[in-house]
Amino acid sequence: MVKKKGAWFKNNLLYIIIFVAVLVVDQVTKYLTYTYLEEKVALIPGVLWLSHIINTGASFGSLQGQNALLIWVALIVLGVLIYSYDTFRTKTEKIFYTLILSGLIGNLIDRVLFGGVTDMIDLGWWPVFNIADSALVVGVLGMIVYEIWKKIKH
């Protein structure tokens, strides 16, 4: 079967748009935080703040100062994700995959360029996080829930 020129792009346009949107919003918010946010700002007093934190570790502050290790781990995971793209068949799987990929790359950019990840979303009761972290969490949890749902359904 001969594929039409541009078919891959057309078939994946939604995922490309999601990927670019998450990556752009993530990088713009990090840039604005890095450039302009000098002190904690209450957006919704008692509920939501903006704080400028540079995280040189991983989730929940683990592996602090292990930026080089975390870059290598991210590159390995990125390679596995790219290699396994064709295993994701449904639109739902591909959306969650895209969120994971964009979050991983968003934080990887920070690690490579700045030696740590810029975080800014502060709920007060949870570690400060960013858009890329949110995309990763939604992607991973969404994929887990979706896989469980598929098993229950069949």
- Does 23 map to a domain? no
In the residue annotation, 133 being an active-site residue is answered as: yes
The confidence score (pLDDT) of residue 123 equals 96
Alpha-carbon distance of 71 to 74, in angstroms, equals 5
pLDDT mean over 72-84: 94
Establish if 44 belongs to a structural domain. no
User: Count of domains in the chain?
Assistant: 1
* Residue 22 counted as domain residue: no
- pLDDT at 96 exceeding the cut of 90: yes
Reported as a single tens digit per residue, the pLDDT across 121-141 is 999 999 999 999 999 999 999
Pull the structure tokens for residue 97: 């995959």
Catalytic residue among 26, 110, 119, 122: 119
**Which domain range does residue 128 map to?**
49-55+87-154
Task: With respect to residue 36, please indicate whether it lies within any of the assigned structural domains.
Answer: no
Task: Tell me if residue 66 falls in helix, strand or coil.
Answer: coil
119 is catalytic: yes
